[in-house]
Amino acid sequence: MDHPSTIFAPASSYGRSAIAVIRISGSASGESLIRLTTGPLPPPRRLVLRSLRDPSQDVLDQALVVWMPGPGTFTGEDMVELHLHGGLAVRAAVLRALAACPGCEPAKVGEFTRRAFLNGRLDLTEAEGIADLIDAETEAQRRQALRQLDGALGRQVSEWRDRIIDLLAGVEAALDFSDEGDVDDDALDNALYDKARALRDAIAKVLDDGRCGERLREGFTVVLAGPPNAGKSTLLNALSRRDAAIVSPIAGTTRDIIEVRCDLGGLPVLLIDTAGLRDTQDPIEMEGIRRTRARIAQADLVLLLDQGDTSAVEETHPAPSPATLHIRTKADLSPPSPSSAILAVSAITGAGLDTLLDAIARRAADAVGGDNALITRERHREGLTRCRDHLDRLLEGTALPELAAEDLRLAVRALGEVAGHVGVEDILDRLFSGFCIGK
Protein backbone atom coordinates (compact mmCIF):
# COMPACT_ATOMS: atom_id res chain seq x y z
CA MET A 1 0.00 0.00 0.00
CA ASP A 2 1.37 3.42 -0.95
CA HIS A 3 1.96 5.86 1.90
CA PRO A 4 2.68 9.31 0.39
CA SER A 5 3.68 10.87 3.70
CA THR A 6 6.52 10.18 6.10
CA ILE A 7 5.35 10.15 9.71
CA PHE A 8 7.13 11.06 12.94
CA ALA A 9 6.21 10.98 16.63
CA PRO A 10 7.75 10.61 20.09
CA ALA A 11 8.07 6.94 21.05
CA SER A 12 8.74 7.74 24.70
CA SER A 13 6.30 9.22 27.19
CA TYR A 14 5.71 12.93 27.52
CA GLY A 15 7.29 14.82 30.39
CA ARG A 16 10.81 15.49 31.56
CA SER A 17 13.12 12.48 31.27
CA ALA A 18 16.74 11.49 30.72
CA ILE A 19 16.15 10.33 27.13
CA ALA A 20 13.41 11.04 24.62
CA VAL A 21 13.05 8.86 21.51
CA ILE A 22 11.50 10.11 18.27
CA ARG A 23 10.63 7.69 15.46
CA ILE A 24 10.37 8.52 11.76
CA SER A 25 8.95 6.14 9.14
CA GLY A 26 8.47 6.52 5.40
CA SER A 27 10.26 7.18 2.15
CA ALA A 28 11.54 10.60 3.27
CA SER A 29 13.07 9.29 6.52
CA GLY A 30 16.63 9.26 5.19
CA GLU A 31 16.35 12.71 3.63
CA SER A 32 14.91 14.07 6.88
CA LEU A 33 17.88 12.73 8.82
CA ILE A 34 20.28 14.31 6.31
CA ARG A 35 18.53 17.68 6.71
CA LEU A 36 18.60 17.48 10.52
CA THR A 37 22.28 16.47 10.73
CA THR A 38 23.55 18.30 7.61
CA GLY A 39 25.62 15.25 6.81
CA PRO A 40 25.50 11.89 5.02
CA LEU A 41 23.47 8.96 6.27
CA PRO A 42 25.31 6.90 8.92
CA PRO A 43 25.91 3.16 8.44
CA PRO A 44 22.63 1.23 8.72
CA ARG A 45 21.51 0.04 12.16
CA ARG A 46 24.36 1.68 14.09
CA LEU A 47 23.87 4.35 16.73
CA VAL A 48 26.07 7.37 15.98
CA LEU A 49 26.43 10.75 17.68
CA ARG A 50 25.26 13.70 15.57
CA SER A 51 24.33 17.35 16.08
CA LEU A 52 20.72 18.08 15.16
CA ARG A 53 19.98 21.45 13.56
CA ASP A 54 16.83 23.36 12.64
CA PRO A 55 16.28 24.93 9.15
CA SER A 56 18.23 28.05 10.23
CA GLN A 57 21.18 25.79 11.18
CA ASP A 58 20.91 26.47 14.91
CA VAL A 59 22.04 23.45 16.94
CA LEU A 60 19.09 21.83 18.70
CA ASP A 61 20.78 18.94 20.51
CA GLN A 62 23.59 16.40 20.53
CA ALA A 63 21.77 13.11 19.88
CA LEU A 64 22.30 9.47 19.04
CA VAL A 65 20.70 8.64 15.70
CA VAL A 66 20.11 5.36 13.90
CA TRP A 67 19.24 4.86 10.21
CA MET A 68 17.26 1.69 9.35
CA PRO A 69 16.50 1.16 5.65
CA GLY A 70 13.41 -0.89 4.81
CA PRO A 71 11.93 -3.36 4.34
CA GLY A 72 13.61 -5.06 7.30
CA THR A 73 12.14 -2.67 9.86
CA PHE A 74 9.15 -2.68 12.21
CA THR A 75 6.93 -0.84 9.71
CA GLY A 76 8.49 -2.35 6.59
CA GLU A 77 9.53 1.17 5.50
CA ASP A 78 12.69 3.23 5.84
CA MET A 79 12.94 4.30 9.49
CA VAL A 80 14.98 6.63 11.68
CA GLU A 81 15.22 6.90 15.45
CA LEU A 82 16.50 9.98 17.28
CA HIS A 83 17.63 9.51 20.89
CA LEU A 84 17.55 13.01 22.37
CA HIS A 85 18.10 14.55 25.76
CA GLY A 86 14.72 14.37 27.46
CA GLY A 87 13.99 18.04 28.08
CA LEU A 88 10.64 19.36 26.93
CA ALA A 89 12.20 22.23 24.96
CA VAL A 90 14.63 19.89 23.15
CA ARG A 91 11.89 17.53 22.07
CA ALA A 92 9.57 20.33 20.98
CA ALA A 93 12.32 21.97 18.89
CA VAL A 94 13.22 18.71 17.12
CA LEU A 95 9.54 18.00 16.37
CA ARG A 96 9.19 21.48 14.86
CA ALA A 97 12.26 20.86 12.70
CA LEU A 98 10.82 17.55 11.47
CA ALA A 99 7.50 19.21 10.63
CA ALA A 100 9.45 21.58 8.36
CA CYS A 101 10.97 18.68 6.37
CA PRO A 102 9.24 18.06 3.01
CA GLY A 103 6.79 15.16 3.03
CA CYS A 104 6.81 14.76 6.84
CA GLU A 105 3.77 14.98 9.09
CA PRO A 106 2.94 13.97 12.68
CA ALA A 107 1.79 10.39 13.10
CA LYS A 108 -1.75 9.49 14.14
CA VAL A 109 -2.40 7.14 17.05
CA GLY A 110 -1.21 3.62 16.26
CA GLU A 111 -0.02 4.59 12.77
CA PHE A 112 3.39 2.91 13.04
CA THR A 113 1.80 -0.43 13.96
CA ARG A 114 -0.92 0.08 11.37
CA ARG A 115 1.73 0.47 8.65
CA ALA A 116 3.50 -2.63 9.95
CA PHE A 117 0.23 -4.55 9.54
CA LEU A 118 -0.57 -3.13 6.10
CA ASN A 119 2.98 -3.87 4.91
CA GLY A 120 2.76 -7.49 6.04
CA ARG A 121 5.26 -7.21 8.89
CA LEU A 122 2.74 -8.67 11.34
CA ASP A 123 -0.81 -9.99 11.22
CA LEU A 124 -3.80 -8.58 13.06
CA THR A 125 -3.50 -10.92 16.04
CA GLU A 126 0.13 -9.84 16.52
CA ALA A 127 -0.91 -6.18 16.33
CA GLU A 128 -3.48 -6.91 19.01
CA GLY A 129 -0.71 -8.54 21.04
CA ILE A 130 1.20 -5.24 20.95
CA ALA A 131 -1.90 -3.40 22.21
CA ASP A 132 -2.36 -5.94 24.99
CA LEU A 133 1.32 -5.73 25.96
CA ILE A 134 1.05 -1.95 26.28
CA ASP A 135 -2.05 -2.35 28.48
CA ALA A 136 -0.77 -5.32 30.54
CA GLU A 137 -1.01 -4.62 34.28
CA THR A 138 -0.08 -8.04 35.68
CA GLU A 139 2.52 -10.71 35.02
CA ALA A 140 -0.03 -13.14 33.59
CA GLN A 141 -1.37 -10.52 31.18
CA ARG A 142 2.19 -9.73 30.07
CA ARG A 143 2.89 -13.40 29.29
CA GLN A 144 -0.35 -13.80 27.37
CA ALA A 145 0.27 -10.65 25.34
CA LEU A 146 3.77 -11.84 24.43
CA ARG A 147 2.32 -15.14 23.20
CA GLN A 148 -0.01 -13.21 20.90
CA LEU A 149 2.79 -10.92 19.73
CA ASP A 150 4.89 -14.01 19.02
CA GLY A 151 2.11 -15.24 16.70
CA ALA A 152 0.66 -18.14 18.70
CA LEU A 153 -2.90 -17.63 17.45
CA GLY A 154 -1.84 -16.35 14.04
CA ARG A 155 0.25 -19.45 13.29
CA GLN A 156 -2.54 -21.81 14.36
CA VAL A 157 -5.16 -19.97 12.32
CA SER A 158 -2.84 -19.93 9.29
CA GLU A 159 -2.31 -23.69 9.58
CA TRP A 160 -6.07 -24.35 9.80
CA ARG A 161 -6.70 -22.01 6.87
CA ASP A 162 -4.13 -23.81 4.69
CA ARG A 163 -5.77 -27.17 5.45
CA ILE A 164 -9.24 -25.88 4.55
CA ILE A 165 -7.88 -24.36 1.33
CA ASP A 166 -6.46 -27.79 0.44
CA LEU A 167 -9.91 -29.32 1.00
CA LEU A 168 -11.47 -26.59 -1.13
CA ALA A 169 -8.99 -27.30 -3.92
CA GLY A 170 -10.04 -30.94 -3.90
CA VAL A 171 -13.73 -30.04 -4.13
CA GLU A 172 -13.02 -27.55 -6.92
CA ALA A 173 -11.19 -30.29 -8.80
CA ALA A 174 -14.23 -32.55 -8.44
CA LEU A 175 -16.38 -29.77 -9.92
CA ASP A 176 -13.98 -29.00 -12.76
CA PHE A 177 -13.40 -32.61 -13.83
CA SER A 178 -16.73 -34.18 -12.89
CA ASP A 179 -17.47 -35.10 -16.52
CA GLU A 180 -14.12 -36.71 -17.26
CA GLY A 181 -14.26 -39.69 -14.91
CA ASP A 182 -10.80 -39.00 -13.46
CA VAL A 183 -12.05 -38.17 -9.97
CA ASP A 184 -13.31 -40.87 -7.60
CA ASP A 185 -16.28 -39.11 -5.99
CA ASP A 186 -16.64 -41.63 -3.17
CA ALA A 187 -12.95 -41.49 -2.28
CA LEU A 188 -13.02 -37.70 -2.43
CA ASP A 189 -16.08 -37.53 -0.17
CA ASN A 190 -14.55 -39.86 2.41
CA ALA A 191 -11.27 -37.95 2.52
CA LEU A 192 -13.06 -34.61 2.60
CA TYR A 193 -15.33 -35.51 5.52
CA ASP A 194 -12.57 -37.15 7.55
CA LYS A 195 -10.28 -34.13 7.23
CA ALA A 196 -13.10 -31.64 7.76
CA ARG A 197 -14.20 -33.47 10.92
CA ALA A 198 -10.65 -33.43 12.30
CA LEU A 199 -10.42 -29.70 11.62
CA ARG A 200 -13.81 -29.03 13.16
CA ASP A 201 -12.87 -30.95 16.32
CA ALA A 202 -9.57 -29.08 16.67
CA ILE A 203 -11.29 -25.69 16.40
CA ALA A 204 -14.06 -26.74 18.78
CA LYS A 205 -11.46 -27.80 21.36
CA VAL A 206 -9.87 -24.34 21.26
CA LEU A 207 -13.29 -22.70 21.60
CA ASP A 208 -14.10 -24.85 24.63
CA ASP A 209 -11.68 -23.00 26.90
CA GLY A 210 -14.05 -21.37 29.36
CA ARG A 211 -13.16 -17.95 27.92
CA CYS A 212 -10.03 -17.96 30.07
CA GLY A 213 -8.06 -15.82 27.62
CA GLU A 214 -10.68 -13.07 27.58
CA ARG A 215 -10.98 -13.23 31.37
CA LEU A 216 -7.22 -12.82 31.73
CA ARG A 217 -7.10 -9.91 29.31
CA GLU A 218 -10.10 -8.07 30.77
CA GLY A 219 -9.75 -9.09 34.41
CA PHE A 220 -11.57 -11.57 36.66
CA THR A 221 -14.72 -9.71 37.75
CA VAL A 222 -15.74 -9.83 41.42
CA VAL A 223 -18.99 -8.08 42.38
CA LEU A 224 -19.68 -7.12 45.99
CA ALA A 225 -23.44 -7.37 46.49
CA GLY A 226 -25.92 -7.36 49.32
CA PRO A 227 -28.39 -5.17 51.22
CA PRO A 228 -27.58 -1.57 52.20
CA ASN A 229 -25.08 -1.06 55.02
CA ALA A 230 -23.76 -4.61 54.65
CA GLY A 231 -20.22 -3.19 54.47
CA LYS A 232 -19.62 -3.47 50.72
CA SER A 233 -17.82 -0.14 50.31
CA THR A 234 -15.78 -0.66 53.47
CA LEU A 235 -14.72 -4.12 52.30
CA LEU A 236 -13.83 -2.79 48.83
CA ASN A 237 -11.54 -0.19 50.42
CA ALA A 238 -9.95 -2.81 52.66
CA LEU A 239 -9.31 -5.26 49.82
CA SER A 240 -7.92 -2.57 47.49
CA ARG A 241 -6.00 -0.87 50.34
CA ARG A 242 -7.24 2.60 49.40
CA ASP A 243 -10.29 4.81 49.84
CA ALA A 244 -11.92 4.04 46.52
CA ALA A 245 -15.52 4.23 47.74
CA ILE A 246 -17.36 6.62 50.06
CA VAL A 247 -18.30 4.95 53.35
CA SER A 248 -21.32 6.23 55.28
CA PRO A 249 -23.81 4.82 57.81
CA ILE A 250 -26.61 6.28 55.67
CA ALA A 251 -28.30 3.49 53.71
CA GLY A 252 -28.17 3.88 49.93
CA THR A 253 -24.96 5.95 49.79
CA THR A 254 -23.57 3.90 46.90
CA ARG A 255 -25.78 4.44 43.87
CA ASP A 256 -23.38 3.85 40.99
CA ILE A 257 -20.85 1.18 40.08
CA ILE A 258 -17.33 1.68 41.50
CA GLU A 259 -14.53 -0.41 39.97
CA VAL A 260 -11.04 -1.06 41.34
CA ARG A 261 -8.37 -3.10 39.54
CA CYS A 262 -6.10 -5.30 41.67
CA ASP A 263 -3.18 -7.64 41.07
CA LEU A 264 -3.62 -10.90 42.98
CA GLY A 265 -0.59 -13.11 42.52
CA GLY A 266 -0.05 -11.81 38.98
CA LEU A 267 -3.70 -12.23 37.99
CA PRO A 268 -5.89 -9.21 37.16
CA VAL A 269 -8.96 -8.91 39.38
CA LEU A 270 -11.66 -6.25 38.98
CA LEU A 271 -13.46 -5.53 42.28
CA ILE A 272 -16.87 -3.87 41.84
CA ASP A 273 -18.79 -2.08 44.57
CA THR A 274 -22.53 -1.85 43.90
CA ALA A 275 -25.70 -0.26 45.21
CA GLY A 276 -27.42 -2.01 48.11
CA LEU A 277 -30.25 -4.28 47.02
CA ARG A 278 -33.60 -3.37 48.55
CA ASP A 279 -37.09 -2.15 47.67
CA THR A 280 -37.04 1.59 47.05
CA GLN A 281 -39.06 4.30 45.31
CA ASP A 282 -36.08 6.60 44.76
CA PRO A 283 -35.61 6.67 40.96
CA ILE A 284 -31.84 7.24 41.19
CA GLU A 285 -31.38 4.38 43.65
CA MET A 286 -33.63 2.18 41.50
CA GLU A 287 -31.32 2.76 38.54
CA GLY A 288 -28.32 1.87 40.72
CA ILE A 289 -30.01 -1.37 41.76
CA ARG A 290 -30.81 -2.18 38.12
CA ARG A 291 -27.15 -1.74 37.24
CA THR A 292 -26.16 -3.86 40.23
CA ARG A 293 -28.32 -6.77 39.09
CA ALA A 294 -26.87 -6.45 35.57
CA ARG A 295 -23.30 -6.65 36.91
CA ILE A 296 -24.21 -9.62 39.12
CA ALA A 297 -25.46 -11.46 36.02
CA GLN A 298 -22.13 -10.79 34.23
CA ALA A 299 -19.80 -11.42 37.19
CA ASP A 300 -17.23 -14.18 37.38
CA LEU A 301 -17.68 -14.24 41.16
CA VAL A 302 -20.26 -12.63 43.48
CA LEU A 303 -19.36 -11.84 47.08
CA LEU A 304 -22.77 -11.87 48.79
CA LEU A 305 -22.41 -9.79 51.95
CA ASP A 306 -24.61 -9.74 55.04
CA GLN A 307 -24.36 -9.09 58.77
CA GLY A 308 -26.02 -12.29 59.82
CA ASP A 309 -29.52 -11.64 58.41
CA THR A 310 -29.77 -14.52 55.95
CA SER A 311 -33.36 -13.65 55.03
CA ALA A 312 -32.16 -10.30 53.64
CA VAL A 313 -29.59 -12.14 51.56
CA GLU A 314 -32.16 -14.57 50.18
CA GLU A 315 -34.48 -11.71 49.23
CA THR A 316 -31.82 -9.74 47.40
CA HIS A 317 -30.08 -12.68 45.74
CA PRO A 318 -32.56 -15.59 45.81
CA ALA A 319 -30.65 -18.01 43.59
CA PRO A 320 -27.00 -18.35 44.69
CA SER A 321 -24.84 -20.06 42.10
CA PRO A 322 -21.48 -21.89 42.31
CA ALA A 323 -19.94 -18.48 41.48
CA THR A 324 -21.20 -17.00 44.78
CA LEU A 325 -19.37 -16.71 48.10
CA HIS A 326 -21.38 -15.85 51.21
CA ILE A 327 -19.47 -13.37 53.36
CA ARG A 328 -20.37 -12.38 56.93
CA THR A 329 -19.20 -8.78 57.44
CA LYS A 330 -18.49 -6.69 60.56
CA ALA A 331 -17.26 -9.73 62.44
CA ASP A 332 -15.66 -7.40 65.01
CA LEU A 333 -19.14 -6.25 66.10
CA SER A 334 -20.90 -9.60 66.00
CA PRO A 335 -18.56 -12.61 65.96
CA PRO A 336 -20.01 -15.64 64.14
CA SER A 337 -20.60 -18.95 65.88
CA PRO A 338 -17.65 -21.38 65.66
CA SER A 339 -19.81 -23.84 63.71
CA SER A 340 -20.69 -21.35 60.97
CA ALA A 341 -19.46 -22.34 57.51
CA ILE A 342 -19.80 -18.79 56.16
CA LEU A 343 -16.55 -16.83 55.92
CA ALA A 344 -16.53 -13.97 58.41
CA VAL A 345 -14.46 -10.84 57.83
CA SER A 346 -13.84 -7.51 59.47
CA ALA A 347 -12.55 -4.59 57.44
CA ILE A 348 -11.73 -2.81 60.71
CA THR A 349 -9.55 -5.46 62.37
CA GLY A 350 -8.51 -7.25 59.16
CA ALA A 351 -9.83 -10.59 60.40
CA GLY A 352 -10.59 -12.98 57.54
CA LEU A 353 -9.35 -10.66 54.79
CA ASP A 354 -6.33 -12.83 53.88
CA THR A 355 -8.58 -15.89 53.73
CA LEU A 356 -11.02 -14.03 51.48
CA LEU A 357 -8.23 -12.83 49.17
CA ASP A 358 -6.91 -16.40 48.92
CA ALA A 359 -10.39 -17.63 48.00
CA ILE A 360 -10.73 -14.96 45.29
CA ALA A 361 -7.25 -15.75 43.96
CA ARG A 362 -8.09 -19.48 43.73
CA ARG A 363 -11.30 -18.76 41.84
CA ALA A 364 -9.44 -16.40 39.51
CA ALA A 365 -6.69 -18.94 38.85
CA ASP A 366 -9.25 -21.64 38.06
CA ALA A 367 -11.14 -19.34 35.68
CA VAL A 368 -8.11 -17.88 33.93
CA GLY A 369 -6.22 -21.14 33.64
CA GLY A 370 -2.62 -21.38 32.49
CA ASP A 371 -0.71 -19.49 29.81
CA ASN A 372 -1.97 -21.57 26.88
CA ALA A 373 -5.14 -19.70 25.84
CA LEU A 374 -5.18 -18.87 22.13
CA ILE A 375 -8.37 -16.79 22.12
CA THR A 376 -7.99 -13.45 23.91
CA ARG A 377 -10.70 -11.31 22.28
CA GLU A 378 -14.36 -11.73 21.43
CA ARG A 379 -13.45 -11.02 17.79
CA HIS A 380 -11.28 -14.15 17.70
CA ARG A 381 -14.06 -16.24 19.22
CA GLU A 382 -16.66 -14.98 16.74
CA GLY A 383 -14.46 -15.80 13.75
CA LEU A 384 -13.54 -19.29 14.96
CA THR A 385 -17.17 -19.99 15.88
CA ARG A 386 -18.32 -19.09 12.36
CA CYS A 387 -15.61 -21.32 10.89
CA ARG A 388 -16.68 -24.22 13.09
CA ASP A 389 -20.34 -23.67 12.16
CA HIS A 390 -19.55 -23.76 8.42
CA LEU A 391 -17.65 -27.01 8.90
CA ASP A 392 -20.59 -28.38 10.90
CA ARG A 393 -22.92 -27.50 8.04
CA LEU A 394 -20.56 -29.21 5.61
CA LEU A 395 -20.49 -32.39 7.70
CA GLU A 396 -24.26 -32.42 8.22
CA GLY A 397 -25.25 -31.44 4.67
CA THR A 398 -25.61 -33.26 1.38
CA ALA A 399 -22.68 -34.46 -0.69
CA LEU A 400 -23.27 -31.87 -3.43
CA PRO A 401 -19.82 -30.49 -4.26
CA GLU A 402 -21.23 -27.02 -4.99
CA LEU A 403 -22.58 -26.70 -1.44
CA ALA A 404 -19.43 -28.21 0.06
CA ALA A 405 -17.29 -25.69 -1.82
CA GLU A 406 -19.37 -22.76 -0.56
CA ASP A 407 -19.15 -23.91 3.08
CA LEU A 408 -15.38 -24.27 2.75
CA ARG A 409 -15.06 -20.82 1.16
CA LEU A 410 -16.98 -19.28 4.06
CA ALA A 411 -14.85 -21.18 6.58
CA VAL A 412 -11.68 -19.87 4.91
CA ARG A 413 -13.04 -16.33 5.00
CA ALA A 414 -13.90 -16.59 8.70
CA LEU A 415 -10.33 -17.64 9.52
CA GLY A 416 -8.96 -14.92 7.23
CA GLU A 417 -10.85 -12.30 9.23
CA VAL A 418 -9.26 -13.53 12.48
CA ALA A 419 -5.73 -13.05 11.13
CA GLY A 420 -6.61 -9.90 9.20
CA HIS A 421 -6.33 -11.25 5.66
CA VAL A 422 -9.83 -10.17 4.60
CA GLY A 423 -12.69 -7.97 5.73
CA VAL A 424 -10.99 -6.14 8.59
CA GLU A 425 -11.21 -2.48 7.56
CA ASP A 426 -14.08 -1.88 9.97
CA ILE A 427 -11.99 -2.94 13.00
CA LEU A 428 -8.65 -1.30 12.15
CA ASP A 429 -9.61 2.18 13.33
CA ARG A 430 -11.08 0.77 16.54
CA LEU A 431 -7.96 -1.27 17.29
CA PHE A 432 -5.29 1.31 16.53
CA SER A 433 -7.17 4.16 18.22
CA GLY A 434 -6.17 2.59 21.52
CA PHE A 435 -2.43 2.79 20.76
CA CYS A 436 0.04 5.47 21.77
CA ILE A 437 0.87 8.15 19.17
CA GLY A 438 4.39 6.80 18.57
CA LYS A 439 3.48 3.10 18.40
Distances (CA, A) of 219 to 361, 367, 429: 12, 10, 24
Smallest Cα–Cα separation from 305: which of 350, 261, 343? 343
231 labeled binding residue: yes
Helical axes 139-149 vs 124-135, angle rounded to 10°? 160
Respond yes or no on whether the N-terminal peptide bond of residue 4 is cis (omega within 30° of 0).
Answer: no
222 - beta bridge partners? Answer: 271, 301
Identify the three-state secondary structure at position 115: helix
Task: Spell out the residues 6+ positions from residue 390 whose beta carbon is closer than 8 angstroms to its own.
Answer: 407, 408, 410, 411, 414
254 labeled binding residue: yes
Q: Provide the H-helix boundaries in 177-305.
A: 185-207, 212-218, 232-240, 283-298
38 labeled binding residue: no
Burial class (CB in 10 A: 0-12, 13-18, 19+), 114: buried
102 labeled binding residue: no
CA distance 45 to 330: 63
226 labeled binding residue: no
The one-character DSSP state at 129 is H
Task: Say what the alpha-carbon torsion angle 149, 150, 154, 155 is, to the nearest 10 degrees.
Answer: 180
Identify the three-state secondary structure at position 344: strand
274 labeled binding residue: yes
210 labeled binding residue: no
Q: How many CB atoms lie within 10 A of CB 348?
A: 13
316 labeled binding residue: no
311 labeled binding residue: no
248 labeled binding residue: yes
121 labeled binding residue: yes
75 labeled binding residue: no
Smallest Cα–Cα separation from 217: which of 324, 427, 371? 371
Beta strands 79-85 and 19-25 are: antiparallel
372 labeled binding residue: no
Binding residues for (6S)-5-formyl-5,6,7,8-tetrahydrofolate: 23, 81, 121, 439
Binding residues for K(+): 229, 248, 250, 253
Binding residues: 23, 81, 121, 229-234, 248-254, 273-276, 439
Binding residues for Mg(2+): 233, 254
Binding residues for GTP: 229-234, 248-254, 273-276
